[in-house]
Amino acid sequence: MSQYSLKPVIHTISNPAGMKVTVMDWGATILSIKVPVPGEKEPREVLLGVKDPEKWSTQSCYFNATIGRYANRVAHSSFDVNGKHYVLSSNDKHCLHGGIDGFDKRRFTFIDVGENSLTMQLHSPDGDMGFPGNYDLTVTYTLNDDNSLSVHYLGKCDAQCPSCITNHAYFNLNGYNSSILNHTVEIKSDKILVLDEDSIPTGEIRDIKGSAFDFNTAKKVGLDFMNDSQMIASRGYDHPYLIDGDLSTPFAKVTSDDGKLTLSVATDYPATQFYTGNYIHAGDPIIARDDGKPYPNQSGLCLEPEYYPDAPHMPQYAAKNPLVGPDAPLDHTICYKFTAN
């Protein structure tokens, strides 16, 4: 039996504009974001998802879930902190998204439910998935009147520990099962982290101006798709872009194929993983909730604000990727704003 079949607790928040966001306790997962578009009878569903929340585990792509303790990868499922070696849960030979039983598979507790905001908490004990310290995470979703969804993470740990919390939202602004290769994307970044064949950063920072990775000028996702050797191992875009980390200024914009809906994303994290859903159809088919057909690869895209992947093994970037500890909580925000054009 799927863990999600144990009667997930689900709440929906809304705003006066008619936007609705639905969240469940398993994984503090965003089940649905519906955005009104002028001239359309029903609000657009902009997230991928399965029809029945109790069958959410039929997908293994982390659909719209909260990721932790460490989003993205930790090489060789281990790290050293304060002279002590820690061995983590391994998804293969590396630790991906917090291990085989990461926060995406945990049952959070709703502690506050309002008309336009939800607050949830999770306790992760010392040694959980190999990570040190007792870790308490609070996640708050706030839906504002301007059709922006703010997601705030506050993580506290009684020992020093690498931690990175994000949401693995898969967006398709068309509102139906379709490719995102014709979405228009703009990312304000001049640099990416170079990855090895296992998608682990090598430590090298690459200038991407004028390359297939350059989205400083908005372009179709598919325009330069697979037009770079860095994309071969990952089957497309799946790379950490280095950004300014300024909540007041969006680092990315995404526009639907028909040009009627734009998503802007802002954060105070120093990086974002741009992922084009290259493995959505790699395992068992994931049946789309809108048409009952399998989601193909590249049917959703992710912009996952984060610390640098594998930061515990890149001390040269420690200033941008601080440890969480008794006097240093993780305190970050992601803002998704939707604008009808």
- Residue 197 has phi, psi (to 5 degrees) of -70, -15
Phi and psi, residue 164, nearest 5°: -150, 120
Torsion of CA 156, 162, 167, 172, to 10 degrees: 170
Contact between 153 and 137 (Cβ < 8 Å)? yes
SS3 203: strand
CA distance 184 to 258: 10
* 230 φ/ψ angles, rounded to the nearest 5 degrees: -65, -20
Closest C-alpha to 255, from 289, 287, 296, 215: 215
The reply to whether 168 belongs to the active site is yes
Residue of 94, 168, 183, 332 marked active site: 168
DSSP assignment of 6-31? S---EEEEE-TTS-EEEEETBTTEEE
Q: Are 77 and 310 in contact (CB under 8 A)?
A: no
Among 242, 65, 265, 267, smallest CA distance to 185 is for 265
Catalytic residue, chosen from 45, 54, 304, 306, is 304
Residue type at position 335: C
Q: Are 59 and 26 in contact (CB under 8 A)?
A: no
SS3 content of the chain, % helix, strand, coil (to 5): 10, 40, 50
Specify whether 76 is catalytic: no
Q: Kindly state the tokens that stand for 98.
A: 């917090």
Q: Which residue has the tokens 């709440």?
A: 11
| Pick from 22, 129, 8: nearest CA to 67 | 129
Amino acid at 79: F
Instruction: Report the chain's C-alpha Rg in angstroms.
Output: 19
Q: Which residues are catalytic?
A: 168, 304
